[in-house]
């Protein structure tokens, strides 16, 4: 993340007001537009596809230990992926439609 100099973009009066609260420190100003996680990259789709692969292999009798080794994830992560997909199937949620 690149930083902008306050002197270059804010009015002097606003800078002086901010300095009453924070002087010489870095502060984060959140964006007005909230973006969902993964909306700027294809990471969300990649992980969704990976999780479906894991679940499909589990359904085809791959052991959790085998999945741990293949995907370099913890046992808990594999169990969570399987549990979440099972729950979404039983709720009638279409995983692909959520993306």
Task: Render pLDDT for 9-19 as a digit per residue (tens, 0 to 9).
Answer: 999 999 999 99
* 50-76 per-position pLDDT tens digit: 999 999 999 999 999 999 999 999 999
pLDDT of residue 93: 59
pTM, two decimals, is 0.59
pLDDT of residue 94: 57
- Residue 61 within a domain: yes
Run of H or E residues at 24: none
Q: Which domain holds residue 69?
A: 43-98
Cβ atoms of 37 and 44 within 8 Å: the answer is yes
Task: Give the angle 22-26-29 at the CA atoms, nearest 5°.
Answer: 90
Instruction: Provide the number of structural domains found in the chain.
Output: 1
- Residue 56 within a domain: yes
Cβ atoms of 74 and 19 within 8 Å: the answer is no
- Residue 6 within a domain: no
Q: Decide if pLDDT at 33 tops 60.
A: yes
């Amino acid at each position: 993340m690149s930083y902008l100099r306050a002197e270059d973009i804010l009015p002097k009066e606003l800078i002086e007001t901010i300095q009453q609260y924070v002087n010489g420190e870095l502060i984060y100003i959140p964006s007005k537009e909230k973006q969902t996680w993964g909306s700027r990259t294809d990471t969300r789709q990649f992980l969704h596809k990976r999780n479906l692969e894991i679940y499909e292999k589990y359904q085809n009798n791959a052991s959790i230990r085998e999945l741990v080794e293949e995907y370099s994830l913890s046992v808990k992560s594999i169990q969570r992926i399987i549990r979440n997909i099972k729950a979404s199937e039983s709720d009638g949620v279409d995983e692909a439609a959520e993306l």
